[in-house]
């Protein structure tokens, strides 16, 4: 009999007997879901809970319900260890109404765990964003900062996006979210067809650590591509409740799209540039310094310094190119 179908006596169970244990908040593999007030039972949520980190009650939807119904919905998630966040639009609405303090006090009293700060609709300066972060912090609440614009006709440039992420990180949020809207089209890192603008993703990751970011990815196809390129533990947001289980299975390589292809990222220390070059070498393999500089758009000295950091960590080795003995190629160990 084939070893693959031999007797299973004495072996561990194939189907798990218990739900996986989760320690939150996680720094990576974060799944941030969008709650549109869709129907979900406690039993259904209990099954999905290990694979959800944060549930955002989106837009201004909490204003559609009685206060006690909002409180009950928050508790539904919290009973399963899931944190609940407001949406950035709600804070922008409160800002436009000059009622930020009232909104924050009531959000805390209702039980929200996180506040999302954004300027997706309003034009808020870095100083205004910083004051909002101060106001949230004064109430003892952690917060997320979202970068990007909702209007497809008035998008940030790549440079503006990178600069706004940098400013957001100085304010010490739990994570910085890259805006995509629910459509995932024509916003942020997605073009009008929903395809990922990989030059944007690579440029963002050349400047900012992947673990500090959440890439909104409402479409399951977008989730798969980001997992395959950035690793199984990339943080993803704007995930629909009915996409949580498919996403969890993709992270584990249990579907055809990711079976045997999901990479488990090693811990890479050092500057963002080192982590970005590690990602490039995972993807393309066997690159010289000129190719790495061209693909990353980083200065040659930055590339050299990042490679030295990776060598010292034992993550990269230098070898002579098989095609040109004058070239030195870099590969992961």
State the pLDDT at residue 285: 62
Q: Which two tokens stand for residue 55?
A: 């549930």
pLDDT value at residue 189: 97
Q: Which domains does the chain carry?
A: 24-251 (3.20.20.70), 272-332 (1.10.10.10)
* Cis-peptide, bond into residue 257, ω within 30° of zero: no
First and final C-alpha spacing in the chain: 37
User: Within 10 A of 34 (CB to CB), how many other CB atoms are there?
Assistant: 21
* Angstrom distance (rounded) from CA 8 to CA 177: 46
- Mean pLDDT, consecutive 10-residue stretches, the chain (333 aa), reads 58 76 90 94 94 96 96 97 97 97 98 98 97 98 97 96 98 97 94 94 91 96 91 94 94 77 66 83 77 86 90 86 75 80
- The pair of structure tokens assigned to 103 is 């909104």
| Reported pTM | 0.79
Residue of 193, 204, 196, 182 whose CA lies nearest to 224: 196
Tokens 């990922």: give the residue: 196
Could you tell me how many residues make up the chain? 333
φ, ψ of residue 240 in degrees (nearest 5): -70, 150
Residue pLDDT, tens place only, 13-49: 778 888 788 888 999 999 999 999 988 899 999 999 9
281-303: buried (b, 16+ CB within 10 Å) or exposed (e) per residue? Answer: beeeeebbbebbbebbebeeebb
Cβ atoms of 109 and 140 closer than 8 Å = no
Residue 298: its pLDDT value, please?
87
Burial class (CB in 10 A: 0-12, 13-18, 19+), 59: middle
Q: Cα–Cα distance between 56 and 86 in angstroms, integer? A: 6
Q: What is the pLDDT of residue 214?
A: 98
Separation CA 144–CA 85 (nearest Å):
9
Q: What is the pLDDT of residue 65?
A: 95
């Amino acid at each position: 009999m084939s070893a693959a179908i031999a007797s299973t006596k004495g072996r561990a169970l194939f189907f798990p007997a218990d739900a996986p244990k989760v320690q939150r908040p996680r720094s990576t593999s974060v799944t941030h879901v969008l709650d549109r007030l869709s129907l979900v039972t406690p039993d259904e949520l209990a099954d999905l809970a290990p694979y959800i980190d944060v549930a955002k009650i989106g837009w201004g939807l909490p204003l559609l319900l009685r206060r006690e119904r909002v409180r009950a919905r928050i508790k539904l998630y919290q009973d399963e260890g899931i944190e609940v966040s407001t949406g950035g639009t709600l804070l922008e609405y409160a800002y436009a109404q000059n009622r930020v303090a009232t909104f924050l006090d009531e959000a805390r009293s209702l039980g929200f765990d996180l506040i999302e700060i954004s300027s997706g609709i309003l034009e808020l300066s870095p100083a205004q964003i910083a004051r909002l972060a101060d106001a949230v912090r004064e109430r003892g609440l952690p917060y997320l900062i979202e970068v990007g614009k909702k209007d497809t006709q008035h998008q940030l440039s790549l440079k503006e996006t990178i600069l706004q992420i940098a400013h957001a990180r100085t304010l010490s949020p739990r994570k910085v979210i890259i805006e995509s809207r629910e459509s995932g089209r024509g916003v942020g890192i997605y073009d009008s067809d929903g395809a990922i603008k990989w030059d944007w993703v690579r440029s963002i990751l050349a400047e900012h650590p992947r673990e500090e970011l959440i890439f909104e990815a409402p479409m399951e196809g977008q989730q798969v591509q980001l997992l395959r390129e950035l690793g199984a533990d990339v943080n993803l947001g704007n995930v629909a409740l009915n996409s949580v289980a498919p996403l969890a299975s993709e992270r584990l390589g249990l579907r055809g799209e990711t079976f045997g292809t999901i990479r488990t990222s090693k811990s890479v220390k050092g500057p963002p540039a080192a982590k970005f070059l590690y990602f490039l070498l995972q993807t393309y393999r066997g690159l010289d310094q000129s190719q790495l500089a061209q693909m990353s758009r980083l200065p040659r000295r930055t590339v050299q310094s990042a490679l030295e950091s990776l060598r010292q960590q034992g993550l990269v080795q230098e070898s002579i190119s098989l095609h040109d003995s004058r070239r030195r190629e870099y590969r992961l160990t």
